[in-house]
Amino acid sequence: MTTLRIRRPDDWHLHLRDGAHMAAVLPHTARRFARALVMPNLKPPMTTTAALGEYRARILAALPPGLAFQPMMTLYLTDRTSPAEIERASASGYIVGAKLYPAGATTNSDSGVTSIEAVWPALEAMSEAGLVLQVHGEVTDAAVDVFDREAEFVDRILARVVERIPGLRVVFEHVTTARAVEFVRTARPGVAATITPQHLLLNRNAIFEGGIRPHHYCLPVLKRERDRLALVAAATSDDPRYFLGTDSAPHARHTKETSCGCAGIYSAHAGIELYAEAFEAAGRLDRLEAFASERGADFYRVPRNTDTITLERVPWRVPDRYPYAGDELVPMRAGDEIGWRLSGE
């Protein structure tokens, strides 16, 4: 049997939700990853240091015994986020950044930023305090084609942010296009990107394969094959700017299999195994550890993990559903095989 032992990875972009839903999905992540950056797009959104402190405590309390998982937190930016709130976040010790959702871009983004002009003071304060900006990089302009929203965001917004605040460290989250990859590759120091398993493994045909496939709908939406190839090339390159962020985003089955389904793909059940597949297909399993376990920690200036996980080249069948606090969750690759499994699972 082929096995692959790597330094334990971190997930730098994760949706955990809250309450019983959070408790249902947390073990999948905590068995694989040492740390995860937990997204703040809850209802209501996590816009204060105090709210994030309580949310973090709920996550820690829901951890199964024996798992030493550390949630890292990020503040939900709004038009009204004050420099004082940024300073409180920075002093907390557990908040490492703030997340910019353009208002209306995605799930629970209604309280997000309506104009970049509104957040310059907060972004300046973040630069001073050393907090990292995480960006959902899509314009919300209804006149812009949904497949072009990321590329437009680069030109209209992100390039200006990066230039105007040279000390601000920025993660362009879940990049999906060749344009975004190129922007990050050539940007000034302090700019990086996360890449999801679905954007490495699937192109937009997967949304329409034999019929409409709501479980392949996420935001930013899957793109063309040439974009996927650019993402694979970036992730498997030796460029330290690209690292792992699953964007695992659980939604109850009935909220996806409906006339207006939610955006989000659940991948935490195989949050490292799916990347192993993508890296193997590219012939670059040797780069998986850097992408999954080193570059993100280095960018966020936290120590690399010292323990390891072992992956085995043994196919396993993903369940059709997982229980989800009285509902059901349809995971990525449901009912099909994944080529790698986590040792001990």
Q: Considering the complex, what minimum distance in angstroms separates the CB of residue 133 from Zn ion?
A: 15
Terminal CA-to-CA distance of the chain, rounded, Å?
16
Q: In the range 233-272, which residues lie near ligand DOR by CB under 6 A?
A: 249, 263-264
The residues assigned a catalytic role are 247
Q: Of the listed pieces 64-72, 88-96, 145-153, 247-255, which binds Zn ion according to CB under 5 A?
A: 247-255
Closer CB to Zn ion, residue 190 or residue 250?
A: 250
Task: For residue 69, give every residue at least 6 positions away whose Cβ sits within 8 Å of its Cβ, in sequence order, or none.
Answer: 26, 29, 30, 33, 34, 35, 36, 63
Judged on CB neighbours under 10 Å (0-12, 13-18, 19+), 63 is: middle
- Does the protein bind ligand DOR through residue 106 (CB under 6 A)? yes
Among 15, 35, 179, 256, binds ligand DOR (CB under 6 A): 15
Judged on CB neighbours under 10 Å (0-12, 13-18, 19+), 226 is: exposed
- Does the protein bind Zn ion through residue 273 (CB under 5 A)? no
Closer CB to ligand DOR, residue 221 or residue 302?
A: 221
Site track for ligand DOR across 38-57, x = CB under 6 A: ---x----------------
User: What's at 162, amino acid-wise?
Assistant: V
Closer CB to ligand DOR, residue 8 or residue 216?
A: 216
Beta strands, E only, 163-260? 169-172, 191-195, 242-244
The span from the CA of 275 to the CA of 254, in Å, is 27
Closer CB to ligand DOR, residue 263 or residue 314?
A: 263
Closer CB to Zn ion, residue 16 or residue 125?
A: 16
329 in Cβ contact with 266 (< 8 Å):
yes
Closest CA to 81 of 22, 140, 40: 40
- Does the protein bind ligand DOR through residue 116 (CB under 6 A)? no
Q: Of the listed pieces 81-89, 226-234, 242-250, 317-325, which binds Zn ion according to CB under 5 A?
A: 242-250
- Does the protein bind ligand DOR through residue 219 (CB under 6 A)? yes
Q: Considering the complex, what minimum distance in angstroms separates the CB of residue 344 from ligand DOR?
A: 29
Residue nearest to Zn ion (CB): 247
**CA 322 vs CA 22, 150, 249, 329: distances in Å:** 13, 32, 14, 5
Total number of residues that touch ligand DOR (CB under 6 A)? 10
Choosing among ligand DOR, Zn ion, none, which partner's interface includes residue 194 (Cβ < 5 to 8 Å by kind)? none
- Does the protein bind Zn ion through residue 247 (CB under 5 A)? yes
Strands 3-7 and 132-135: unpaired
Task: For Cα atoms 112, 269, 45, give the angle at the middle one, nearest 5 degrees.
Answer: 15
Q: 3-state DSSP call for residue 76? A: strand
Binding site for ligand DOR (CB under 6 A): 15, 41, 106-107, 136, 218-219, 249, 263-264
Binding site for Zn ion (CB under 5 A): 247
